[in-house]
Structure 1
Amino acid sequence: MSSATDHRALPRSDRTRFPWRFLLHGLRPVSRGLVGRRYEVHVHGADLVPASGPVIFAANHVGVMDGPLLAMFAPRPVHALTKVEMFRGPVGRFLLFSGQIPLDRFRSDPGAVKACLRVLRDGATMGIFPEGQRGTGELERFHRGAAYFALVSGAPVVPVVFFGTRDPGGTSGSLPHRGARIDIVLGAPYTVPAAPWPRTKEQVEHTSMLLREHLLVHLDHAKALTGRTLPGPLPAGDSDPDPATGVTDQGAP
């Protein structure tokens, strides 16, 4: 557990409440059981996740089930950054009470940043999808958030790869067919030293490139381990608007 001094470090998180979590903890066994009645879910590498202390789960993003499955099946409860558009109506209330963190992807969102830092500084875990939008899951674009949180907190980043959460040719909002096998492959943590305030853009970009390379290596390992491939691109015209920022094979724009 971090001290109050950590919460007063910049950006400050001492005035930010810890996300709701009673549904996150209480419903995990029930949710796993319900999902297990429809899909064959296999979790690999759970022993690689630190049993205590802050952790950042950084996952590829293939389908709509990725976030819920991370919350249900990760070895530890996860507070995942979730696009703010999902926090509407009953679904939005459920996400809030299950500890998920709303994120506005198109403008600076200090509230989301401080909520994530509150989680990490209290020794819990957060989840992030560096690709931003659902797609191939091949990590072609890697947004800078995972690197930023790693640099601020010093928390290890655990790579996560999802297979089977979207059928080939399926839309971004589609569910896999009943009985589908879903593989969740966790990898070795990647740690960067915490950087004091202020963190520079160059630091974050360099760390993002290193993290992306680590996740790409893990993606290749996950494919070899499971013998699986990703579902390919979304159907033409099916895209979720997302900022054209982050690290790619061409570097950091």
Structure 2
Amino acid sequence: MTTADQAPGAGAGTEPAAEPSTAPAGPVAERPAAESAAAEPAALTQRLAAESTVTVVEPAPAALPVAAGGGAKAPVAAARQPAHRGAESTPYNDILHRVLKPPVRWWLNHVVMRITLDGVERVPRGEPLIFAGNHSSWLDGPLVVIESPRTVRCLTKVEMYKGIVGWLLRLVGQIPIDRGKADRVALHTALDELARGNAIGVFPEGTRGSGEMAAVQHGIAYLAVHGRCRVLPVACLGTGDALPKGARWPRRSARVRVVFGEPFAVEIPANPRSRKALAAVAEDIRVRLADHLTTARATTTD
């Protein structure tokens, strides 16, 4: 009941109680005491009924916004939330990337190593994006992060988060992932980043190997489908020679190329939670990444 509805009810409850004092004196005043006594409780009952009506209904306006908010605002809140039930991770402040990456990139590319970049102009800005690269060396992850013209947060195996390396990885916003299980916290943190319009990096082969994209994990399909974003292939060439397994420092004599490809969208399956559907999306991504790798190698120049 609204405040306007309450006002008439309150008036109706108070008027009967005022009638005895305004009635003319005379025979009515000489009514038996028993009749007056009977009339007073009736008037008192009406007054209490009116007061109780106000008392019971009065909290309703305070309660109505809660109920209305739950009904009317629920769709708005649902529309603002990401499509996943995620980690609600804290947004990462990428000021270090924006300030330090240019000088670090120049120092790495010209002093420490000899690195050539191709296709930087293909990297879109202002949209959620997955950088997907081949993985044949420990250098691949740092190169994708440093050489990209925009901030990239890579999914990095949790075993790397030890000592000074772990501290640096957290400082630059990399996302730890436990590859021994379905790490929902890591996946949902990545989806949070995509929901904010940012970029993440993955190496869908799962571990260092030949870097031939012979097989990819289904995690990248899950991220692309549920993150509703495009995938940008990245080919890291020569990193296996520059920093082979067991080496502590990259070889400057080895030539390294980082080639950014054209971003592509995946087909969203009718049932995005179907393992079979995600496997099909993952295979489509693998074929596209392998094609980009082949094209990048074919255009390698001395």
Counterpart for residue 92 of structure 1: 166
User: Which amino acid is the alignment partner of residue 12 of structure 1?
Assistant: R
Assess if the C-alpha contact under 8 Å between 1:56 and 1:125 holds in 2. yes
Q: Describe the superposition over 1:118-157 as per-residue Cα deviations: whole angstroms up to 9, x where unpaired.
A: 1101001000001111111101221111111110012110
SS at match of 2:299: helix
User: Which amino acid is the alignment partner of residue 239 of structure 2?
Assistant: T
**Equivalence map 1:172-211=2 (5 Å):** 175-194=249-268, 199-211=273-285
**Does residue 39 in structure 1 map to residue 104 in structure 2?**
no
User: Which amino acid is the alignment partner of residue 81 of structure 2?
Assistant: R
**Equivalence map 1:1-253=2 (5 Å):** 5=78, 8-13=81-86, 15-36=88-109, 37-167=111-241, 170-171=244-245, 175-194=249-268, 199-227=273-301
Take 1:75 and 1:220, find their aligned partners in 2: how far apart are those partners?
23
How far off its partner does 1:195 sit? 5.4
SS at match of 2:193: helix
Bigger helix share: 2
How far off its partner does 1:14 sit? 6.8
How far off its partner does 1:64 sit? 0.9
How far off its partner does 1:7 sit? 6.1
SS at match of 1:166: helix
Q: Normalising by structure 1, what TM-score?
A: 0.81
Compared CA separation, residues 5 and 59, structure 1 to 2 (3 A): farther
How far off its partner does 1:172 sit? 5.8
| Structure 1 consecutive aligned stretches of length 4 or more whose deviation exceeds 6 Å | none
Q: Normalising by structure 2, what TM-score?
A: 0.69
How far off its partner does 1:194 sit? 4.5
Take 1:57 and 1:173, find their aligned partners in 2: how far apart are those partners?
26
User: Which amino acid is the alignment partner of residue 57 of structure 1?
Assistant: F
Assess if the C-alpha contact under 8 Å between 2:242 and 2:255 holds in 1. no
SS at match of 2:200: strand
SS at match of 1:226: coil
Assess if the C-alpha contact under 8 Å between 2:152 and 2:201 holds in 1. yes
User: Which amino acid is the alignment partner of residue 130 of structure 1?
Assistant: P
SS at match of 2:240: coil
User: Unaligned 5+ residue runs, structure 1?
Assistant: 229-253
Query: Highest Rg: 1 or 2?
Result: 2
How far off its partner does 1:25 sit? 2.8
Assess if the C-alpha contact under 8 Å between 2:113 and 2:252 holds in 1. yes
Take 2:166 and 2:77, find their aligned partners in 1: how far apart are those partners?
30
Aligned Cα root-mean-square deviation (Å): 2.3
Structure with more contact order per residue of length (Cα contacts < 8 Å, sep ≥ 6)? 1
Q: What number of residue pairs does the alignment pair up?
A: 226
Compared CA separation, residues 9 and 41, structure 1 to 2 (3 A): same
Compared CA separation, residues 175 and 64, structure 1 to 2 (3 A): farther
Take 1:24 and 1:141, find their aligned partners in 2: how far apart are those partners?
31
User: Unaligned 5+ residue runs, structure 2?
Assistant: 1-75
Quick one: percent identity of the two aligned structures?
35
Assess if the C-alpha contact under 8 Å between 1:18 and 1:119 holds in 2. yes
SS at match of 1:167: helix
